[in-house]
């Protein structure tokens, strides 16, 4: 295992403090030990790549469902298609993705949707950042000759989404809370794993904290703004469910998986 001095993370500890307070548990040592093995780097990077795309897709879905006009919803689909073609269908190259039409800053709000402008501002910024990070992860994979391949999703997000209420606006509020937890856990794992990775990947993971550390707050602020009541109790419940998933055993290693049952 290649170990980088933990000083690489030290300058960003202030960014991690609120994240660690928000999450009810830290990543188990067993996961870090397994994820840091050289032979597991391809699966970690591949799943990370998928996670960046899924984060952008989730934000786009929220925009299409709750914020933008139908025509501008198509702009979101068009912006994501080259990435989806590359990952899911093996069509195109990173160069094609980089040349593709990027997400417009001028998405039009649907008149019937409350707080649409705020949702558009936060989620469109998140999409642009996640897609940029996707390109960065893919460049690292190409440099290390790690091929794209199909990958089963972890149970983490799926089981959290099973807790979403079925009526509005509570369903949207729950989805935003889940988005906050996924973003916060990602940042916590970037910092936890970075000291054990090769220096180029470690510095990349730490650099992600600068942009992604605020994402969970964007989700929570939107959730509270859209709710007529205080969401603290609902957030607490999801934090508990999330911690249970992180502490429990998983049969497959993924970026958000729990304790390796096979280690």
Q: How far apart are CA 253 and CA 41, in angstroms?
A: 11
**Alpha carbon separation from 9 to 14, 165, 199 (Å, rounded):** 10, 38, 12
Whether the per-residue pLDDT at 52 is higher than 60: the answer is yes
Hunting for tokens 């369903």 — which residue is that? 171
Identify the H or E element spanning 81: helix 70-89
pLDDT value of residue 2 = 46
Q: How far apart are CA 125 and CA 40, in angstroms?
A: 31
Enumerate residues 6+ apart whose C-beta is below 8 A from 33. 263
pLDDT classification of 1: cutoffs 50, 70, 90: very low
pLDDT classification of 115: cutoffs 50, 70, 90: confident
Q: What is the mean pLDDT of the chain?
A: 89
């Amino acid at each position: 295992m290649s170990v980088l001095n933990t000083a690489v993370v030290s300058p960003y500890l202030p960014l991690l403090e609120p994240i660690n307070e928000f999450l009810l548990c830290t990543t188990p040592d067993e996961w870090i030990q397994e994820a840091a093995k050289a032979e597991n780097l391809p699966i970690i990077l591949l799943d990370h790549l998928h996670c960046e795309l899924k984060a952008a897709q989730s934000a786009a879905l929220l925009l299409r469902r709750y914020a933008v006009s139908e025509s501008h919803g198509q702009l979101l689909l068009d912006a994501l298609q080259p990435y989806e073609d590359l990952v899911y269908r093996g069509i195109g190259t990173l160069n094609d993705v980089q040349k593709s039409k990027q997400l417009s800053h001028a998405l039009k709000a649907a008149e019937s949707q409350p707080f649409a402008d705020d949702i558009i501002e936060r989620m469109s910024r998140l999409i642009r950042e996640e897609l940029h990070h996707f390109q960065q992860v893919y460049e690292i994979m190409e440099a290390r000759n790690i091929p794209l391949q199909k990958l089963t999703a972890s149970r983490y997000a799926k089981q959290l989404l099973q807790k979403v209420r079925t009526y509005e606006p509570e369903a949207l509020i729950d989805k935003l809370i889940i988005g906050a937890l996924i973003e916060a856990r990602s940042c916590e794992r970037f910092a936890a794993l970075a000291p054990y990775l090769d220096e180029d990947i470690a510095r990349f993971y730490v650099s992600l904290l600068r942009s992604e550390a605020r994402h969970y707050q964007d989700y929570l602020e939107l959730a509270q703004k859209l709710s007529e009541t205080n969401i603290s109790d609902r957030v607490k419940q999801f934090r508990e469910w999330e911690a249970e998933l992180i502490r429990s055993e998983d049969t497959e290693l993924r970026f958000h998986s729990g304790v390796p049952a096979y280690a």
